[in-house]
């Protein structure tokens, strides 16, 4: 790719991510993006088939690796279940609240086939990302520390609430008083942990 093409590609991606973060995914259109980058929509369509193709590539190239790295920072799969979950929740929350575009893409992926298509397009197999988290959950199931559910069910039970809390965090940024504090996050994580522990 020539330097000029690389610059255009970088501008398309960075401005698309800014629009997603500031205005929401629904307000990202190829025409709006072309206008902000100061190129013709045709140039964008030479690089991306459509908006979904752009979102898939943004997710794979700009979000997935950085998200995994942030979530796993300081995490060790040999930690106690409670300590490990608190670390994963804190890391997830910090990354998503500081990277709204990533949060928006992940949220969109949960309500559309985007993530599955992204994984298929990049030939990403289940467990290729976040494998330390998968092993952590499986060993806690095997040791009888947490209730036995299929891995996808355990992951949904344990991590969906943190996404809802990030959503509330962004909602409360527009209000007078932020209700999603570190203390609230820690307390909520403790409640979720208690719910899945084998008594």
pLDDT digits (tens, 9 = 90+) for 73-94: 999 999 999 999 999 999 999 9
- Same domain flag for 11 and 75: no
* CB crowding 108-129: b at 16 or more within 10 Å, else e: bbeeeebbebbbeeeeeeeeeb
Quote the pLDDT of residue 24: 83
Q: At 121, which CATH number?
A: 1.10.357.10
In a domain, residue 52? The reply is: no
- Same domain flag for 14 and 86: no
Specify whether the CB–CB gap between 56 and 121 falls below 8 A.
yes
This model's pTM is above 0.75: yes
Quote the pLDDT of residue 135: 94
Specify whether the CB–CB gap between 116 and 122 falls below 8 A.
no
How many separate domains does the chain show? Answer: 2
Quote the pLDDT of residue 124: 66
Domain coverage including residue 66: 58-196
- Same domain flag for 145 and 103: yes
Over the stretch 48-75, which tens digit does the pLDDT of each residue have?
888 888 888 888 888 888 999 999 999 9
Residue 32: enclosing H or E segment and its boundaries?
Answer: helix 30-37
- CA–CA separation, 57 and 48 (whole Å): 9
- CA–CA separation, 167 and 92 (whole Å): 12
Residue numbers of the chain with a pLDDT score lower than 70: 1-5, 111-112, 114-115, 118-119, 122, 124-128
């Amino acid at each position: 790719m020539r330097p000029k093409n690389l610059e255009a590609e970088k501008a398309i991606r960075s401005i698309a991510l800014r629009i997603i973060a500031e205005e929401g995914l629904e307000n990202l259109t190829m025409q709006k993006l072309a206008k902000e980058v100061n190129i013709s929509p045709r140039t964008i369509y030479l690089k991306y088939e459509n908006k979904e193709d752009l979102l898939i590539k943004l997710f794979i190239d700009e979000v997935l690796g950085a998200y995994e790295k942030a979530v796993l920072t300081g995490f060790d799969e040999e930690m106690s279940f409670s300590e490990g979950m608190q670390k994963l929740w804190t890391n997830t929350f910090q990354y998503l609240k500081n990277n709204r575009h990533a949060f928006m893409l992940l949220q969109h992926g949960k309500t559309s086939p985007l993530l599955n298509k992204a994984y298929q397009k990049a030939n990403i197999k289940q467990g290729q990302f976040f494998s330390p988290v998968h092993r952590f959950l499986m060993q806690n199931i095997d040791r009888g520390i947490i209730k036995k559910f299929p891995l996808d069910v355990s992951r949904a039970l344990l991590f969906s609430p943190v996404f809802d809390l990030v959503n509330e965090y962004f909602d409360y940024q527009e209000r007078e008083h932020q209700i999603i504090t570190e203390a609230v996050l820690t307390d909520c994580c403790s409640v979720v942990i208690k719910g899945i522990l084998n008594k």
